[in-house]
A and B are shown apart, each in its own frame.
Chain A
C-alpha cells in the first residue's frame, strides 16, 4: 500500500485534515513526530499547515531544523514526493528545498477565505491528475503567504514552468485585486524534478464531499499516480 508520512511539528494544526485526505485518496497515512529521525519507509511525505513553533522568528525558520528534516531532505533529494501545505510550504522554503520565501501579507491582514487558482503545471508529483489550466477553488488561511524571490530566481521559475498554481480572478483571468501580494500571483511552486511541491492554499481542507468542495483531492490522488524513482528506504 502507498505509504504517506505526515510530519507533525509542535504547532501543526492541519495534520489530521491531511491524514484524512491522504487516506481518502487510498493511501496508508501515518503521523511522524518532528523529533523522529526516520520516516518509516514512506512513498510520499507531507508537511501540513499550522504554526510550527508559533511562527517565532519567521514562519518555518525553526521547524526547518527539526531532527526529522534531515530525513525529509534526503527523501526529497532521492526523488521522493514531498508536499508542503501552507506552513509546510514555508518550511520547505526555509529548508532550501524550494526557492524564495513567504513574507507578511501585503495588507498585513490574515487572509482566510476560498480563492480561485489556475493549475499551471501538471507534470508534478501532486498535480498530475489535473488538466493544465484547470481552475480550482481552495481555502486560503495565512498571515504570511506573500511569495517573494529575487528577480533571477523568479525568471527561472517562470522559464522552467515551475509555477504550479497561480491566484486568478473567478473568471480565470489575472487577479485584479491582490490577495496577499505574491510576486506574479504565485500560490505554489515545484522544484526542478517536480517531486517537491509547496503551496499556500489548502487542498487538505477541500478533499471531502462533506465539506462541499473536493477540488483539492487531486493533490492526493496525484501522488499515488506519480511514477518516479522513490528511494527504497529512509
Chain B
C-alpha cells in the first residue's frame, strides 16, 4: 500500500479542573489590557510533525500512540490530534 506524508498537529492542554497558573496569569493580563471578555484561558503547547501513513485514520492512530507514550502526561494533560492532508 502506498504511504502518504501527513502533517500532524497535536495540541496538549492542562486537564480541565487542574489549576493552570499560566492560563490564570494570561487571563489577568488580557483583562488588564481591556479584553475582559476573555474567560477560562488555558495555556498548553502545540506540537507539529510529519508522518508517513497509509491513511489519515492510520496517521491519527499513530499520532495518538505518540501522545499516550510521550507527548502528553495522562495525569495532567489532555490532547487533540489533527491530521492535515
Mask: chain B, 1-31; 1 = CB below 8 Å from A; 0 = not:
0000000000000100011011001000000
Q: Which of B22, B25, B70, B76 contacts A148 (CB 8 A)?
A: B76
Query: Does the CB pair B21–A148 fall under 8 Å?
Result: no
Please give the distance in Å from B11's CB to the nearest CB on chain A: 14
Q: Is A104 an interface residue (CB 8 A)?
A: yes
Query: Does the CB pair B73–A108 fall under 8 Å?
Result: no
Q: Which of B25, B70, B73, B75 contacts A150 (CB 8 A)?
A: B75
Stretch at the interface among A2-10, A57-65, A156-164: A57-65
Complex Cα spacing A93 to B75, Å: 10
Q: Which of A107, A149, A181 contacts B75 (CB 8 A)?
A: A149
Complex Cα spacing A48 to B19, Å: 27
Secondary structure type dominating chain B contacts: mixed
Query: Does the CB pair A57–B70 fall under 8 Å?
Result: yes
Complex Cα spacing A189 to B51, Å: 39
Complex Cα spacing A58 to B12, Å: 11
Please give the distance in Å from B3's CB to the nearest CB on chain A: 26
Q: Is B71 an interface residue (CB 8 A)?
A: yes
* B side interface size, CB within 8 A: 11
Q: Which of A99, A101, A146 contacts B73 (CB 8 A)?
A: A101
Q: Is A18 an interface residue (CB 8 A)?
A: no
Q: Which residue of B lies closest to A60 (CB)?
A: B73
Q: Is A228 an interface residue (CB 8 A)?
A: no
Mask: chain A, 54-79; 1 = CB below 8 Å from B; 0 = not:
00011001100100000000000000
Q: Take A101-B76, A103-B76, A108-B25 as given contacts and tell me if A148 and B71 are in contact as well, using a CB distance cutoff of 8 Å.
A: no
Query: Does the CB pair A101–B19 fall under 8 Å?
Result: no
Q: Is A105 an interface residue (CB 8 A)?
A: yes
Q: Which residue of A lies closest to B14 (CB)?
A: A103
Q: Which of B25, B71, B73 contacts A94 (CB 8 A)?
A: B73
B contact residues around A108 at 8 Å (CB): 21-22, 25
Complex Cα spacing A88 to B22, Å: 24
Q: Is A106 an interface residue (CB 8 A)?
A: yes
Please give the distance in Å from A109's CB to the nearest CB on chain B: 10
A contact residues around B21 at 8 Å (CB): 104-108, 181
Q: Is A218 an interface residue (CB 8 A)?
A: no
Complex Cα spacing A120 to B12, Å: 35
Q: Is A231 an interface residue (CB 8 A)?
A: no
Residues of chain B having any CB pair with chain A under 8 Å: 14, 18-19, 21-22, 25, 70-71, 73, 75-76
Residues of chain A having any CB pair with chain B under 8 Å: 57-58, 61-62, 65, 93-94, 99-101, 103-108, 146, 148-150, 181
Write 12 A-B pairs (CB below 8 A) sorted by A numbering: A57-B71, A100-B75, A101-B75, A101-B76, A103-B76, A104-B21, A106-B19, A108-B25, A148-B18, A148-B76, A181-B19, A181-B21
